[in-house]
Amino acid sequence: MRTTADQVPEPAIQVRGLAKSYGRLEVLRGVELDVARGTILALLGSNGAGKTTLVKILSTLLRADAGSATVNGFDVATQAAEVRESISLTGQFAAVDQVLSGRENLVMVARLRHLGNPGAIADDLLDRFSLGEAGARRVSTYSGGMRRRLDISMSLVGNPRVIFLDEPTAGLDPEARVEVWQAVRGLAEQGTTVLLTTQYLEEAEQLADRIAILHRGCILVNGTLTELRRLLPPATVEYVEKQPTLEEVFLAVVGHRGQDVPTEMHPASAPAGEEKA
């Protein structure tokens, strides 16, 4: 079961006024974000919006210029070691060793993390990610979706409570994408908090409990799909009421050509704990 905000008062991820520039390029300009434990948040943004920059700051790979962030209650700036122990980060490019089998990859990671009984850990994860039969085969024989699933399973060795997935399905075909979605859903069902970045709006629709849109350095909107849809009036076609798609909401919020956002699109902070429709 997923935990709700009222059971656990402290969010797994809390970001306040976070700012980061590269030279004169202001990438993050006061990011505010909460992610409740055991939920999936999709961070949407165009290419170059600053998604990876935010994930790097939250996973302590990069320091913010201003503002603060906690992950699992630990401050990313002053308690980096504790943050690292309780998270994992999976990048866009699979970090698996092609020559080894899936199982050997997992055993290797468990050994590197000095965990007892690496074989059992590997078998459990192979099972969870439906890779049991493929476990003994070299990764070079895996499909793209299998590789990415193995990559995600490797990041779960040691049971991190928060996992960052930076564009986990970039470059995958639709079938492989669905496989990865199933794996990510399984994570949240086990209580892991997932922050995933994506440029695919359908991915956010399919997976996320909440969706946050990062644009021009700030989180423009943050809500459930239902809440985001409410930002736009439903388009009516004859007798059928059509819900706006996330794509329509996204384009309305960030502007079709990146022009300024209409002020009425900035919602008041959305109510917490509401379930996705």
Which positions lie near ligand ADP, rule CB under 6 A?
22, 25, 27, 45, 47-53
Would you say 51 or 215 has its CB closer to Mg ion? 51
Residue that has been written with the tokens 């202001």 in this structure: 26
Selection from Mg ion, ligand ADP, none that 47 binds (CB < 5 to 8 A by kind) is: ligand ADP
Least distance (Å) between residue 170 CB and ligand ADP: 10
How would you class 26 by CB atoms within 10 Å of its CB: exposed for 0-12, middle for 13-18, buried for 19 or more? middle
Q: State which residue, 14 or 46, has the beta carbon closest to ligand ADP.
A: 46
Encoded tokens for 260 = 């300024």
Residue from 39, 52, 101, 105 in contact with Mg ion (CB under 5 A): 52
- CA atoms within 13 Å, Cβ hemisphere of 105: 29
Give the burial string for 88-104 (b: 16+ CB within 10 Å, else e): bbbbeebebbeeebbbb
Nearer to ligand ADP, 25 or 235 (CB): 25
- In Å, how far are 8, 131, 166 from 138, measured between CA atoms? 42, 12, 25
Tokens 């699979």 correspond to what residue?
94
**Nearest distance from residue 57's CB to Mg ion, in Å?**
13
Residue nearer to ligand ADP on the CB measure, 69 or 122: 69
Stretch that binds Mg ion, among 52-60, 115-123, 182-190, 250-258 (CB under 5 A): 52-60
- Supply the minimum distance, in Å, between the C-beta of residue 192 and ligand ADP: 22
Contact 213, 198 (CB under 8 A): no
Q: How far is the CB of 240 from ligand ADP (least distance, A)?
A: 36
**Shortest distance, position 63 Cβ to ligand ADP, whole Å:** 12
> If contact means CB under 5 to 8 A according to the sort of partner, which of Mg ion, ligand ADP, none does residue 103 touch?
none
Burial 122-135 (b: 16+ CB within 10 A, else e): bbebbebbebeebb
* Cβ closest to Mg ion, residue 36 vs residue 184: 184
Report if residue 70 touches Mg ion, rule: CB under 5 A: no
- Please report whether residue 169 would count as binding Mg ion according to CB under 5 A: no
**Which neighbouring-strand residues pair with 26?**
21
Binding site residues, Mg ion, CB under 5 A:
51-52
